[in-house]
């Protein structure tokens, strides 16, 4: 059912154009993919964008997912502690292991497999769409996907989603190109493999595949409905393989994880769960920033769904099966993810694929210059479904773009009255409700207009070839421009805080340290320290003593609460060794706390602090000269440790040796030029010496590196100039 582009009228015989030639269009496709992969593979060791997600997942979860592959390289065994994600994300670990084996354990090595999986997913999705809708639309999908900021960011972080999506796309490819039972069986196999070997969040896709085949009317030979037997056999084969390799040998761990993620996380009983699902379904596009990152693609995709699924059974049966699969993938996937407590943005990358596919098909209709035609649903059920889908299609971009704008009114003199009207006086309890009311008004307006013009009369919008091509060019250019602006904003201010801290940990703590915490695995990617994920496995109550933990990594209030609530005796006695910067939504610093060696008469560990920690302990007692002596000995062993030079400068400053302090801190900046507290201290010293210009420059750099630091802003303000 592919619709190949029409051949130009005056082309001589024997000289096929780009789209008719069997290989030229593939060369174009390959060039786009190479460029897209290159962007994904650039700056692989850099930190994720701080606003990429509301959760810490992009900073923490990837290293946890691949923790067992790291174990295999460093210790010779896949499983050495309570982290057993090999059984939950087997494909990610298996693909990362040979990269670690060839290039060593490291941050870019952990991310590299996902860049390849991302490029392969783009390729297979594009080829599937090319088979169904023509080569031009297949290449256009790859172009928009290759340079999508939303996809780029999540396909360059070591998470489990790219492996899951790859399996989903393989299933889609076999579905789109199937000519018989074997193709559908392969589609079924990979549809089931995605949640079992990729990530469980794809659990809905087997249903999507079977429902698309069930509803399709023209997918089989001579117009017969395709048989469900081949895909069911494929799904059964994948399930049997998973049962034999993973579930039966490790059922306890898998069940515990699934139970925790599926229902134990939810609160409030049945009513609370239902309310949570409804909130997620309505607002998921907002708090995941999906529509803000890709407004044109997502809006066009959801509007296409509203037009496809609300047309009645007969019209649905006449729909191109691939188009039907894309629609069901987006809708069923959306509500399936709404069942997850607080869906993270990375979950929605799987839905971006069908949304972009639907948008590209709509763009293809515009490009052809044919009159746009659509018949409103005739039945009550169809009209209700259309109303719901239209509300959803209007609400998502409105809430994503409108909610932040309304929130900013609070801080503006001209907008405060509007903010007060809608928020502070509680005419609407939330801005979300305000956007919902506006969306309902739009739906009522549309239905009123449809009734006024005759109910189910077809709607036709004449569109010439030139106008259609111009509109397509505008949409594509606008989408790519939004992606380019997002990517450049991140790349121009990217940081390497996690990599720098991870590389310094060996010097700071010594090789016998054992770290625990949500950030511990990611801080172990660039060294060989023993690290433990989060604060024990589910239900663990004695993780510190059991695993002889020496240090805890603390970033958010949740980390503090975890230790304070479950281990109050440790919380009261632990000592902060050091802190260093990070740019995330939750915190500006990562802190390392040393665990007491003994609590309530029980030995926890036999760790002895090294020179660096001893120097920090002495400095806390304001014994500056003794701390300086220890730090100078430490730098004799680790001359490239930036924090060592910084603390030497700190001690020199406290002892009154300003010039020595400046030289030491400047050396620290040469080694690690993105730590804002280096510049802040340097600015303070310059200010004490009356070197105002140098002080201001140092403080401005500190403010740029950490715009939320109030101390820096106050220091700049005291000098007669605020931070920019």
Domains of the chain: which residue ranges?
497-608, 612-718
Helix, strand, coil abundance in the chain, percent, nearest 5 = 65, 5, 30
Res 415: pLDDT: 44
Res 407: pLDDT: 58
Return d(Cα 707, Cα 138) in angstroms, integer: 43
State the 10-residue block means of pLDDT for the chain, 724 residues long. Answer: 42 63 88 96 93 86 94 95 93 97 96 97 97 93 95 94 98 94 96 97 97 73 72 98 95 82 59 74 77 81 78 69 94 91 88 94 75 68 76 74 60 48 44 75 82 68 66 85 92 92 89 92 94 85 92 88 90 90 82 93 92 93 96 94 95 96 97 92 94 94 86 83 44
Res 439: pLDDT: 82
- What CATH architecture does domain 612-718 belong to? Alpha Horseshoe (1.25)
Which runs of consecutive H residues, i.e. helices, occur in 41-89? Answer: 57-65, 67-75
Helix (H/G/I), strand (E/B), else coil: 475: helix
For CA atoms 584, 587, 589, 591, give the dihedral sign: negative
DSSP state of 375: P
Count of C-beta atoms within a 10 Å radius of residue 264: 12
- If phi over 0 gives left and psi between -120 and 50 gives alpha, with beta otherwise, what is residue 529? beta
Length of the chain (residues)? 724
Token reading at 490: 């991140």
User: Could you tell me the pTM of the whole model?
Assistant: 0.87
Instruction: Evaluate whether 327 touches 358 at the Cβ level (below 8 Å).
Output: yes
Give the residue from 672, 662, 631, 663 showing the smallest Cα distance to 648: 631
């Amino acid at each position: 059912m592919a619709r190949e582009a029409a051949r130009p009228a005056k082309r001589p015989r024997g000289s096929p154009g780009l789209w008719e030639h069997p290989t030229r269009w593939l060369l174009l496709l390959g060039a786009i993919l190479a460029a897209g992969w290159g962007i994904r593979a650039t700056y692989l060791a850099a930190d994720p964008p701080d606003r990429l997600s509301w959760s810490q997942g992009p900073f923490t979860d990837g290293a946890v997912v691949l923790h067992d592959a790291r174990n295999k390289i460093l210790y010779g065994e896949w499983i050495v502690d309570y982290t057993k994600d090999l059984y939950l994300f087997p494909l990610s670990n298996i693909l990362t292991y040979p990269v670690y084996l060839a290039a060593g354990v490291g941050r870019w090595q952990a991310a590299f497999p996902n860049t390849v999986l991302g490029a392969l997913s783009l390729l297979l999705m594009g080829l599937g769409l090319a088979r169904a809708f023509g080569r031009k639309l297949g290449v256009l999908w790859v172009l928009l996907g290759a340079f999508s900021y939303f996809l780029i960011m999540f396909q360059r972080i070591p998470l489990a989603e790219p492996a899951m999506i790859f399996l989903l796309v393989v299933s889609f490819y076999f579905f789109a190109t199937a000519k018989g039972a074997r193709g559908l069986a392969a589609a079924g196999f990979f549809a089931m493999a995605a949640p079992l070997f990729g990530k469980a969040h794809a659990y809905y896709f087997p249903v999507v595949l079977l429902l698309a085949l069930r509803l399709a009317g023209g997918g089989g030979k001579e117009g017969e409905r395709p048989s469900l037997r081949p895909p069911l056999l494929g799904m059964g084969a994948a399930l049997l393989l998973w049962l034999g390799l993973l579930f039966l040998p490790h059922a306890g761990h898998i069940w515990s994880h699934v139970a925790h993620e599926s229902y134990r996380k939810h609160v409030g009983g049945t009513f609370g769960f239902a309310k949570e699902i409804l909130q997620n379904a309505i607002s998921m596009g907002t708090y995941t920033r999906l529509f803000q990152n890709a407004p044109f693609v997502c809006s066009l995709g959801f509007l296409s769904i509203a037009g496809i699924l609300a047309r009645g059974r007969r019209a649905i049966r006449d729909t191109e099966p691939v188009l039907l699969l894309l629609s069901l993938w987006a809708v069923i996937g959306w509500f399936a993810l709404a069942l997850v407590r607080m869906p993270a943005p990375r979950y929605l990358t799987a839905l971006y694929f069908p949304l972009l596919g639907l948008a590209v098909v709509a763009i293809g209709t515009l490009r052809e210059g044919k009159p746009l035609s659509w018949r409103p649903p005739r039945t009550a059920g169809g009209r209700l479904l259309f109303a719901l889908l239209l509300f959803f299609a209007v609400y998502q971009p409105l809430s994503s773009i409108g909610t932040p704008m309304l929130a900013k009114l609070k801080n503006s003199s001209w907008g405060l009255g509007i903010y007060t009207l809608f928020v502070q006086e509680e005419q609407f309890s939330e801005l979300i409700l305000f956007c919902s009311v506006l969306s309902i008004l739009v739906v009522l307006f549309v239905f009123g207009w449809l009734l006024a013009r005759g109910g189910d009369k077809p709607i036709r919008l004449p569109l010439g070839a030139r106008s259609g091509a111009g509109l397509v060019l505008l949409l594509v250019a606008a989408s790519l421009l939004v992606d380019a602006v997002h990517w450049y904003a991140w790349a121009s201010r990217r940081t390497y805080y996690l990599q720098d801290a991870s590389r310094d940990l060996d010097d700071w703590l010594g090789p016998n340290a054992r770290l625990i915490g949500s950030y511990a695995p990611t801080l172990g990617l660039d060294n060989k320290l023993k690290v433990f994920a989060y604060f024990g496995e589910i239900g663990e109550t004695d993780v510190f003593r059991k695993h002889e933990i020496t240090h805890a990594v603390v970033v958010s209030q949740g980390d503090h609460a975890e230790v304070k609530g479950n281990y109050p005796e440790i919380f009261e006695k632990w000592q902060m060794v050091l802190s260093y910067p990070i740019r995330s939504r939750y915190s500006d610093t990562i802190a390392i706390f040393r665990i007491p060696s003994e609590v309530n008469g029980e030995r926890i560990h036999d760790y002895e602090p090294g020179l660096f920690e001893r120097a920090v302990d002495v400095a806390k007692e304001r014994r500056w000269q003794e701390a300086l002596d220890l730090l100078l000995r430490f730098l004799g062993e680790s001359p490239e440790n930036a924090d060592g030079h910084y603390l030497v400068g700190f001690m020199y400053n406290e002892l009154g040796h300003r010039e020595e302090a400046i030289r030491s801190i400047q050396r620290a900046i040469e080694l690690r030029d993105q730590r804002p507290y280096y510049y802040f201290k340097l600015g303070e010293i310059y200010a004490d010496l009356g070197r105002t210009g140098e002080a201001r420059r140092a403080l401005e750099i500190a403010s740029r590196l950490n715009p939320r630091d109030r101390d820096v802003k106050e220091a700049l303000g005291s000098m007669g100039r605020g931070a920019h």
